[in-house]
Structure 1
Amino acid sequence: MGRPDKKAKKRGIRRLFTWKKILGTLFAFCLIGMGALYTVYLLVPVPSANAEATMQSNIYQYSNGKILARTGEINREIVDLEKIPLPVQRAFVAAENKTFYKDNGVDIKGTTRAAWNTLTGKGKQGGSTITQQYVKNFYLSQDQTATRKLKEMVIAVKVDEEMSKPDILAGYINTSYYGRSAYGIQAAARSYYGTDAAKLTTAQGAYLASLLQAPNQYDWTSASATGRKLVEERWNYVLDNMVEMGWLPAAERAGLKFPVPREPKPLPGMEGQTGYIVEAANQELMRQGVSEEDIKAGGWTITLNIDERKQKDLVAAVDKQLEAKLDRKGDKKDATVQAGATSVDPRTGAVVAMYGGVGATEHWMSNATRRDFQPASTFKPIVLASAVDNRSTTQDGREIGLGTVYNGDSKRPVVGSKIHYAPENEDDYSYGPVSVQRATDKSINAVYAQMIVDVGEEKTKKTALSLGMKDGQDFDPTPAMALGTMGASTLDMAGAYATLDNHGVKVTPALVKTAQHRDRQVETVRQTGEQVISRRAADTVTRAMRGVVDNGSGFRAAGDYEAAGKTGTSENNRSAWFVGYTPELVTAVALFGEDTSGKIAEQVTLTDTIEPGRANGGGFPAQIWGAYTERALNGGSDAEFDLETGGYDSGRDTEPTATGSPTATDEPTQEPTSTATTPPARTTTAPTPPTTAPTTAPPTPTEDPATTPPPTQEPTREPTNTATVQPPDPEVPDSGGDQGVLPPSRTTQQPR
């Protein structure tokens, strides 16, 4: 009984959906769609040039409102298409739109394919023709919306009807952004190859055409390894397309080599420190979500945290302490010395001063923000911070604090690591039993290599990242990490030390105070945040680093203020550092060895450059730091560190003796020949050190710390008032060490 009903329903459906009706409906929809498109075509006019075509200036000002710089003038020079070599013209067509000379301004097939690939997860693709991109550059905004895309397609069709293909191509090449503040092919040719567009080679033109896909990512001189790989693949793709189109002989193509561009140079007006500061501010804004194109479009008022007076103080300190003693033009070795510095207010995170180098027009890469040099022993305090924060113990179960005794023998293999590591101390000195405080003062490699194993390399790295260091190349969790083998900038180190100065509360250095556009304001960096390490850990490290300035390798940084700091000299003496702070100011100063005489800059040694022998963090960096800090604090300060160490500084001023073990001496049997220099004395009175002996047993130099028997005699306090020359800061070249001459008693004559 039910079957006739089903047949009746099927007949009803067939009558409702016949092929004629379906085709008719589709045809009607097509007519409606075509009518709608034609209506849009009639209603959408070709507009006037967009705001980007008449870009505005950006204003950068000091924290007090005084203008530092104005930028934003378009770096563009329009050139006629006939002045651009034909192979270069064709390279742009091969890169972006092979159907350019045949299409009517819109490539429906390419647009459909790009949309399908985007929807199916094969990556976001544009599918725009050269005409569409020219329309977007010159008439429309960069917004990725359906409405803008529809307007772009309609206007592209009209422009294609009104303009010739050569004029469209010329407009596209002259309005596109190539990175490095270069708009148009003429500016790009000068920026990347130091030549006019008329003299570009085919290989160079193919590179500039490749840049347009991702100008920031594909700039060879600043690109990551991935970026370089991608742009080289893009370059090959362009040339292969030219061969396919019959525009480039295969034999000529086979002989072309990738044309590495030259280092970037700043626009006029960016001389001195201005260019470094402006570029660093732009980079910070981009990290906050502002696109580079948006910044270049102008209209921004950017107020910096840079203190005008402190900025001048920092430049003056570098000029007097370093530049006045260098002959950059007449001495090739002097020319390799580069200085960088960053100064931060630990209470707010404000970057109050920055030194990027001799000048942005002479040396474009900022020495303040570069991360390609090792921070060396300035990383050791972070190891100690991690030890205290994690309540770490030695191999034989003793809790690590400033009074904890370690074996300070040179080349002693670390215990407890799967990786064999036996670092050499400076001048291969063996110190036998030595406290953590003294190991910090003298920067003993053997002690800190063992300490990072005791703490755990991964835990130490976690502490470093929480303090603000960046996880980049060579930040490998190995025992060698204790000697600062990773890359870091003065900005990174100033931020990490600022967090220590701020009792473990995170300080994120911020260069930009406010960034306002006429229609919006950018949210700036949150400069202080949560407690990332315990106060006792941060304050214990501060206590330890006070010893470095008062009695150790950083004595040249001492002045009429309380200060804590650490010296550092990297492998092969390629960099020398002093990073330190007072309760009010944190500053990182570094010297880098860099030979820029060739096509590619190379890291070189600082040995026998600014002074005979090795450069060291306790030398010129500490002197620059001291001179700047004295100026910045108006000659001195009564501010004192408010430290809560929780007892982790107990025994820091005592040193063990081990008369029962002939090899475990408190001092090396022979001291180096060196000239002693006394640091300037503070007017304040140093706290009285404890006189009690440490209760832990020191290991002997020749035995594992876990099996070392206790000494037969109670440790005695190390003498602090003697004119005897002490051994130099025990760090070794090639092992991340630093070198400095320890002062005798502060009752002797002060250094000049």
Structure 2
Amino acid sequence: MSAIAGILVTAMVTPALAVTGIAANNSIGMFENLPSYIKPDALAQKTNIYATKADGSNVLLASVFEQNREEVGWDQISPFVKDAVVAVEDPRFYSHGGVDVAATLRAAAGNALETSASGASTISMQYVRNIQVQKAEAIQDEAERDAAYEEATKTSIDRKLKEIKLAIGLEKEFSKDDILLGYLNIAPFGGRVYGIQSAAQYYFGVNATDLSVAQAASLIATVNAPNDLRIDEPDNVADNQARRDKDVLPAMLKEHKITQAQYDEAIATPVTPNIQIQSTGCQTANEISAGFFCDYITRIVKNDAAFGPDEDSRWNNFKTGGYDIYTTLDLDLQAAGAAAMNAYVPKAGSGFDLGSSLVTVQPGTGKVLAMVQNKDFSDDPEVTATNEGASAINYATDYAYGGSTGFQVGSTYKIFTLAEWLKTGHSLGDVVNGNPGTLNLAQFRDSCTGGNGGTYSVKNDGGAAPGNVTVSKATADSVNLAFLRMAQKLDQCEIRKTAEAFGVHRADGGPLGENPADVLGTNEIAPLTMAAAFAAVANEGTYCSPVAIERIVDASGNDVPAPQTTCSQAVDPSIAAAMTTALQGVINGGTATASNPNDGIPHFGKTGTTDSEKDTWFVGASTELATAVWVGNVVGTVSIRNTDIMGQGGGNVRHSVWKQYMTDADGKYGGTAFPTAQSSLVNGVKVTIPNVAGMSIDAAQDAITSAGFDFQDGGQIDSTRAAGVVDSTSPSGSATKGSTVQVFTSNGQLRTVPNLVGLSPEAAKSAITGAGIGAGQIVFDGPSSGNAKVTASNPAAGEPIRAGSDKLRVTTKG
């Protein structure tokens, strides 16, 4: 066959060789020196991203493709398609050896006066050309890709020689049916539609196996000039039908592939497209509010070395690899999240750049079960530039995964100081000072950076001054100063390390800050990160990194390793149990009471509000689900709290969204009680507070600190003790070791009323002035001389009275 082909090629190209000065007897040598084998590569196929329903069925979120192709087997293609392509393109396909001798001779005669080699392309030769085009299109470098494509498609003698030689080699390696099947799967059908299955679905809305004679002939007509005869463009329909009726159907009849009746019926059938739009990309998933989750999946692929050595290679492999990706998305939770978000947060029209995100992570698995935001996903710059309700930025994720650079998380970050507090032997029952004040930054220890100097003036939310509070109370009420004073007793570096153990990191990829202000949540973090951290608390202290892909299957049906969660112990289970004890107080009577579903399922959580109320958060969990809700400014500093959002104060929106969503989520997943915390971590070890009444302030400080407490000068108070000596402490009696004990000194302003009952008025005056109470403060109710006797006093005997100002009323009877 090679020899025959060489002779035929010589005859076909002799005129051109003569013109160019090449000897005719060189042609066979040229032919023999060409490569003889081409291996079909795996075809570029679309990748599908799925969510799985509770009944196990799959729901397509989106398809991502460079070429819309779904490769099918021989039995999945209608016989009419196979017959049509053979009849019109290569009637002797099943009898030649890759080159049609008769057709080539006719082409040689036709080209006798031309300098090109046209015509006579068998199906095998066309398949070779498509394989070469496919190989060219797979090249990543643009210049190399363009050069390879030009080489594969140029009209030239050497290309025709190469196709003939490779077609002959192809026929030696593959059966006729395999070659025909390969051709039908690789062939372009216009635009981004490739392969007979995708063409059937796109143009007619049916599978390739169900194509009628008329439909099959119309599609095969298209392959002659894919972009000129594609029927999704109305202007092309008439030309497509003309080729179908004049070329394809007559060829099928002539080759006895269809009967006269089938021919007549097909000719009488107009070409009627039934276009099924096959959009590429995650905009499709907006139909079930999952566009941003879908985009997150694509970003995981771009960041995973398993898909290629660099991001461009990974993305190209993803778009062309024909993967089926099954995700962790729970469609019920996704729908519940979208309903809650739509009910309380508008997509547009707020007057400022309002953003909101809800994301749920399953404790113990790290599975991302829901991811919703108050925008529709679009990566089209023209759409996002003109539609306020659309965005390409995923508010839930890190910058590297299509997200923003994160948002300050406010007091939700306090849980890491709480964890470090408990790890270092403190308890929830410890008492700390929660009043506003100016803190000495040099008193904040940092074993990593060495700490800072200067001062830091801080206030509580709303200007609250709660005094000494337990750590439990400070957590429930989110007392800023209490947590800062807790941090003063800890190592700022260790607080950061504890946060990192919970998987916490900045969304922009930078290192976490560990300044005292960071205790109050100034690091900018993604909602997904915070949801995963709270899931670790619910999971008895074990952190599992977020994972969004359950399974990946390649185009051949083989499982491909999917990214896996990595679990590690962030804190001891006993510490986690104590954390949940404190954090349950937040939702049960604390700052997040409005978030409580009150559905019988235990929950814990933490609120967060940043400076100027720019960002508001609630992150909470049951034993089964951890959910973060953020409502805030995408850009700008509009106060969320002072803004009306869809009829309610903006500060309450996070609670409304979380409560509605978790009520629905609890109905599906339920939840159990959290583990009981150890008494020592809840109540601490009680230690007797020294009785320092009557001591000097310096002596009292020594006694208090020696007993293991933190000393705090509470200032002067009204007291009957001598000015400058200690009057009392708060708390008194006993407290957990390490608690703050305020020591109050006397201002010497109070006097003790003596017992005056039974005394004469004169004797009473003498007793009163002898007690240090001025005579001018005495008011007699009754006779003040003679035989009268005192029957009562107000204040009564033993009670204090302020010297020089308060009145002492003395009741007498004559």
TM-score class normalised by the smaller sequence: 0.5 to 0.7
Tell me the secondary structure at the aligned position of residue 524 of structure 2.
Answer: coil
Counterpart contact for 1:698–1:708, Cα < 8 Å: no
Q: Is the 8 A contact 1:373 1:575 kept in 2?
A: yes
* 1:495 matches 2:532: yes
Q: Report deviation, 1:317.
A: 2.0
Contact 2:136–2:146, Cα closer than 8 Å, also in 1: no
Who is 2:300 aligned against? Answer: 284
Work out the number of aligned pairs and report it. Answer: 464
Deviation at 1:604, TM superposition (A): 4.4
Match of 2:392 in 1: 364
What do residues 359-411 of structure 1 show as CA deviations (whole Å, max 9, x unaligned)?
Answer: 2142332222234211111010111112222x1xxxxxxx4221112121213
Whole-Å separation in 2 of the counterparts to 1:700 and 1:544: 28
**What is the CA–CA distance in structure 2 between the aligned matches of 1:161 and 1:698, rounded to whole Å?**
89
Give the counterpart letter for 1:448 in structure 2.
F
Give the Cα–Cα distance (whole angstroms) in 1 for the partners of residues 685 and 439 of structure 2.
25
Match of 1:609 in 2: 643
Matches within 5 A, 1:307-706: 307-320=330-343, 322-323=344-345, 326=346, 328-329=348-349, 331-333=350-352, 336-361=353-378, 362-369=390-397, 370=403, 371-389=405-423, 391=424, 399-414=425-440, 416-417=443-444, 418-420=452-454, 421-471=456-506, 472-473=509-510, 475-519=512-556, 520-527=558-565, 529-558=567-596, 559=598, 560-594=600-634, 602=636, 604-610=638-644, 619-634=652-667, 637=670, 639-645=672-678, 647-650=680-683, 699-700=712-713
1:623 shift after superposition: 2.3
In 1: Cα distance, 2:633 partner to 2:419 partner: 29
Measured on the aligned residues, the alpha-carbon RMSD in Å equals: 4.5
Q: Is the 8 Å Cα contact of residues 137 and 145 (structure 2) preserved in structure 1?
A: no
C-alpha distance in structure 2 between counterparts of 1:653 and 1:516, whole Å: 60
**Shift of residue 143, structure 1, vs aligned partner:** 8.5
Q: Which residue of 2 aligns with 1:732?
A: none
Mapped to 2, the partners of 1:651 and 1:533 lie a distance apart of 19
What residue identity is the alignment partner of 1:409? Answer: N
Residue of structure 2 in register with 1:42 after alignment: 34
What residue identity is the alignment partner of 2:292? Y
Q: Does the residue aligned with 1:455 lie in a helix, a strand or coil?
A: coil
TM-score between both structures, scaled by the size of structure 2: 0.50
Equivalent pair of 2:472/2:582 in contact (CA under 8 Å): yes
1:157 and 1:631 map into 2 onto residues whose CA distance is 58
The 3-state SS of whatever aligns with 2:551 is: strand
Specify whether residues 75 and 387 from structure 1 end up closer, same or farther in structure 2 by C-alpha distance, changes over 3 A only. Answer: farther
- Partners of 2:464 and 2:287 in 1: CA distance: 46
- In the alignment, structure 1 residue 61 sits paired with structure 2 residue 51: yes
Letter in 1 for 2:396: A
Q: 2:732 aligned with 1:713, yes or no?
A: yes
Q: Distance in 1 between matches of 2:646 and 2:631?
A: 15
Cα shift at 1:443: 0.9
The structure-2 alpha-carbon separation of the partners of 1:318 and 1:611, relative to structure 1 and needing over 3 Å to count, comes to closer
> Does the 8 A contact of 1:577 with 1:590 survive in 2?
yes
How far off its partner does 1:500 sit? 0.9
User: Which SS does the other structure have where 1:699 is aligned?
Assistant: strand
User: Which deviates more from structure 2 when the two are superposed, residues 155-164 or residues 58-67?
Assistant: 155-164
**Greater strand proportion:** 2
- Residues 1:157 and 1:66: Cα distance change in structure 2 (over 3 Å): closer
1:293 aligns with 2:327: no
> Which gives a bigger RCO, structure 1 or 2 (Cα 8 Å, sep 6+)?
1
Deviation at 1:340, TM superposition (A): 0.4
Structure-2 change in CA distance of 1:67 and 1:374 (3 Å)? same
Match of 1:634, SS?
A: helix
Query: In the alignment, is the contact (CA less than 8 A) between 1:341 and 1:356 conserved in 2?
Result: yes
What is the SS of the residue equivalent to 1:495? helix
CA distance in 1, matches of 2:679, 2:639: 42
Q: Percent identity among equivalent residues?
A: 21
Residue 498 of structure 1: how far off its partner (Å) = 0.7
Cα displacement (A) at 1:591? 0.4
- 8 Å CA contact 1:423, 1:449 repeated in 2: no
Shift of 1:157: 9.8
**Greater Cα radius of gyration, structure 1 or 2:** 2
- CA separation of 1:340 and 1:653: change in aligned 2, threshold 3 A: farther
SS of corresponding position for 2:533: helix
Note if contact 2:540-2:576 (Cα within 8 Å) is conserved in structure 1. yes
1:440 positional shift: 0.8
Gaps of 5+ in 1: 1-37, 77-133, 165-181, 184-263, 392-398, 596-601, 662-693, 718-752
For 2:281 and 2:64, the matched residues in 1 are separated by: 16
In the alignment, is the contact (CA less than 8 A) between 1:407 and 1:701 conserved in 2?
Answer: no
Return the alpha-carbon distance in structure 1 between the equivalents of residues 498 and 32 of structure 2. 60
Structure 1 residues 625-676: Cα deviation after superposition (integer angstroms, max 9, x where no partner): 121111111189562111344621116999x9x9999xxxxxxxxxxxxxxx
Paired AA for residue 629 in structure 1: M
- SS of the equivalent of 2:585 reads helix
Q: 1:70 to 1:405 in 2, by over 3 A?
A: same
SS at match of 1:431: coil
**Any idea what the Cα deviations from partners look like across 1:206-259, whole Å, max 9, x if unmatched?**
xxxxxxxxxxxxxxxxxxxxxxxxxxxxxxxxxxxxxxxxxxxxxxxxxxxxxx
Q: Deviations over 1:175-199 (max 9, x none)?
A: xxxxxxx99xxxxxxxxxxxxxxxx
Unaligned runs of 5+ in 2: 1-29, 69-129, 158-190, 193-279, 308-313, 379-389, 398-402, 445-451, 695-706, 717-725, 737-814
TM-score normalised per structure 1: 0.54
Letter in 1 for 2:432: Y
Shift of 1:622: 2.0
Q: Residues 521-576 of structure 1: CA distance to partner in whole angstroms, max 9, x if unpaired?
A: 33334335232221122121111101111121011122122111000012222211
Tell me if structure 2 keeps the 8 A contact 1:47–1:139. Answer: no
Which position in structure 2 is the counterpart of 1:51?
Answer: 43
Alpha-carbon distance in structure 2 between the residues aligned to 1:276 and 1:590: 15
Deviations along 1:305-360, one digit per CA (max 9) or x if unpaired, are 1112122122222223x13xx5944x524xx3222011122132221211133321
CA contact (8 A) 1:266 1:275 kept: yes
Find the aligned partners of 2:375 and 2:146 in 1 and give their Cα distance. Answer: 49
Q: Do the aligned residues in 2 keep the contact of 1:403 with 1:653 (CA within 8 Å)?
A: no
Cα gap change, 1:429 to 1:294, in 2 (>3 Å) = same
Going from structure 1 to structure 2, the CA distance change for 1:518 and 1:161 (only over 3 Å counts) comes to: closer
Supply the AA of the counterpart residue of 1:380.
Answer: K
Q: Give the secondary-structure state (helix, strand or coil) at the position aligned to 2:531.
A: helix
| Distance change in 2, residues 1:425/1:715 (3 Å) | farther
Q: Conserved in 1, the CA contact under 8 Å of 2:692 and 2:728?
A: no
Tell me which amino acid in the other structure corresponds to 1:548: V
The structural deviation recorded for 1:48 is 8.0
2:316 aligned partner, one-letter code: E
